[in-house]
Every structure is written in structure tokens, then in C-alpha cells.
Amino acid sequence: MKVCVIGGSGQVGSATVFDLIQNNVNVKVIDLRKPKFDVEYVQGDLNNVEDIVSKIKECDYVINTAQYYFNLKAMQASLKAGVNYVDLGGLFWMTRKQLEMNKDFEREGLLALIGMGAEPGITNVSAKYLYEKYSLPEKIKIRNGWRSSGFKFNWSVDTQMDEITMKAPVWENGNYVYYEPLSKSEIIEFSKPVGVVKTYLTIHSELATFPYSFDGVKYVDWMEGGDGFDGVIVLGKLFGDNVEVMGVKSRDYLKELLKIKGFLGSQGDEWESAKVIFEYEKKVREIEVLIPPKDGFDGTQYGAGVPASIAVQMKVKGEGVLPPEKVVNQDVFFEELKKRGFIIYERELSNVSS
């Protein structure tokens, strides 16, 4: 099996490549710059779809770890090349556009597995596990927290700015209701070392598929928070709208400044937690996946990059554009996470609000 990783030189893509080569998978990286690992590499730019097509034809799977703005172009390239596709998420609005390509992939007999990272990804498979074991809940709440000794942007600056500035969808009684970002918050107790974290409402990919994958659910929302998030909020308010100042886009300035000041990259000690909560009338059931730092990768990077690698090693199959809860075997997937040091907790609690 050969796997092409688009964006495999990036902060998260490197974690994907790391896991693939650790498991003796034949890897080809396509990126604008060379990867840090000794693997086959060709330079490629997703702005040139035909060029990407020519470089992925030999592969069994394409894993797209590039900035999510390019997801549609990566999918178009995969369709033309006749290669199964996997990505790490589309931040709700892009995910919905990707789902519109379902018939195109069905027609070609190809799979596009979208949102196969940590959140989305691990969260989706966790929700599938709870749904198949305990049935449909009234509410699904997805919570994400992290803990580290310092603060760095260890994944896409643009995506984080989008989360701070875009309206956040919440599924309420059969409809999407859009709230101002950060307008709701909740204190969540994650397992140590993450611990107690204040989480905030933001836009996220799971909201694009959960209401339909778990048809009949009355409520779905997402909240996140952790060390450094207050700083991200401030930067989002200053630079997130990407206005032009003195001929420079504010986000371009921010990214260059963060790079110069050493605030891009891994801290090396960050733990992350992804929690999915199913609320029933009298019970609450939850799955929490605790993600460790590993081999220089923060938990956020490792957690986002590894699941796509696991999915292709599982040789996931399907036709159409599908989220993880429709494709990935939860039992096999969880066992693979455990082999890599992920810690999985399952809990049952009383619903105090009932």
C-alpha cells in the first residue's frame, strides 16, 4: 500500500507521516517544502489541481493534511486520479460543501473520508461507539481541552482565527441556530493532566454531520479551551477579520510575527482531551480520549495527525463523501489508539438536570 500525504511537511501532517513510517507504510509527501522525515517527496501546490493529479495516481489513498481551505481542490484531484481520499476536517462550512460532492465520489466508486483527525475524527468515532452501545441520546455535547507548560500555535493559525471569528452553529430541535463565537462557556473536568478547563462555544466540523448521522437528536454543540486560549481569543479579535493595514493583511502579519518570535511549533509537553457526552433523560454516558505528547509532537498535533494514518492502515472502505461515524469500525480504531498511548475512558453518570 502506498499513501500520499498532501501537506505532509506541516505541523500536523508531520505527525501523520510519522505514524505511517512507524508502521512501515510506503509514504509519499506532496508539499511546497521538504518534510523532516526521510521519505519520498515531490513539490506540489494544491492551486494546480492537474499537477497534483499526476503526482497521486500511483497511491492507494490520499491523506490531505493541508489547510482546510484547499479541501475541495484536493478532493477534485483525488476524483480525477481515481484515488480514495481522507482529510482532517473542514470547520463546518467547508465540510458542508464537501458533502455536496457525495454523488461524484459514489459515481467513481471512491471513498472520501472527511474529518478524520482528533476533533473531528476521534470525536466522531466516539459518538458512533456510544450510539451503537446505548442508542440515540437527547443531547450530544463535544468538549475539547488541553494543558501545557507554555503557549505556542501548534496547529493552523488561520483555522484558530476562524474559530474565534465565525459564528458557531448549534443544533437545536431540528434546526441550526447560529451564535456569536465565544458567547457561551462551560467549565469541564477532563482527566488529569488536562484537568478543569473553561471551554467556549466555537464553530466546528462535527456539527455538519452529527444531526444527520444520529437522526432525531435534539441538541448538538461544541466547546473548546485550554492553556493559551485566552491569548488566542485576544489575537483573534485583533487579527482575525484579516483586514488590510498599511498594505499588509493582518493575518499574514500575525503569522510572520509569531514565526519570528518563536510562537509557532510544538511545546513538546501538551496533553489534549476529546470528550463526547451523550445525555439521556436520566443518565449521562461519555467517552473521553486523552491524547499524550509523543516524540516531539504535542498532543494536539499527535491527536490530529494519527487517526487518518490509522484509518488508511485499517483499509477503510466505502463509496461517497462520508464522515468517520459512517465508515470507521470503532472497536478496531480504539485498539489502535491504545497501542499508540492514547488513554480511553468510558463513564456513566446521573443526569442532574433531569
**pLDDT tens-digit readout, 48-87:** 999 999 999 999 999 999 999 999 999 999 999 999 999 9
Spell out the residues 6+ positions from residue 24 whose beta carbon is closer than 8 angstroms to its own.
none
Cα separation values, 272 from 12, 63, 122, 138, 335, Å: 14, 22, 12, 27, 18
Q: What is the pLDDT of residues 227-263, one digit of tens each?
A: 999 999 999 999 999 999 999 999 999 999 999 999 9
3-state SS assignment for residue 291: strand
3-state SS assignment for residue 303: helix
Separation of CA 3 from chain center: 19
Q: What is the pLDDT of residues 117-135, one digit of tens each?
A: 999 999 999 999 999 999 9
The secondary structure of residue 121, as a DSSP letter, is B
The secondary structure of residue 264, as a DSSP letter, is B
pLDDT category at 151 given cuts 50, 70, 90 is confident
Q: What do you get for the CA distance between the two ends of the chain, in Å?
A: 51
Query: What pLDDT, on the 0 to 100 scale, is given for residue 353?
Result: 66
**Matching residue, cell 485498539:** 335
Instruction: Say whether pLDDT at 354 is over 60.
Output: no
CA separation for the pair 280, 257 (Å, rounded): 47
Angle at which helices 13-22 and 299-313 cross, to 10°: 50
Q: Considering only CA atoms, which of 180, 181, 150, 148 is closest in space to residue 271? A: 148
Please state, for a pLDDT cut of 90, what percent of the chain lies above it. Answer: 95
Averaged over 185-195, what is the pLDDT?
98
CA separation for the pair 306, 311 (Å, rounded): 9
**Matching residue, cell 507548560:** 149
Averaged over 288-312, what is the pLDDT?
97
Q: Which residues is 186 bridged to in the sheet?
A: 199
The H-or-E segment that residue 139 falls in is strand 139-147
Q: Which residues is 288 bridged to in the sheet?
A: 275, 345
What average pLDDT does the structure give for the chain? 97
Instruction: Say whether pLDDT at 41 is over 90.
Output: yes
CA separation for the pair 258, 265 (Å, rounded): 10
Given a contact cutoff of 8 angstroms between Cβ atoms, the answer to whether 28 and 39 are in contact is: yes
Instruction: Say whether pLDDT at 351 is over 90.
Output: no
Domains and CATH numbers, the chain: 2-113 (3.40.50.720), 122-297+330-350 (3.30.360.10)
Predicted model pTM: 0.96
Neighbours of 292 (CB within 10 A): 18
Averaged over 185-211, what is the pLDDT?
98
Q: Note the residue count of the chain.
A: 354
Given a contact cutoff of 8 angstroms between Cβ atoms, the answer to whether 277 and 143 are in contact is: yes
Spell out the residues 6+ positions from residue 319 whose beta carbon is closer than 8 angstroms to its own.
105, 106, 109, 110, 111
> Identity (one letter) of the amino acid at 194?
V
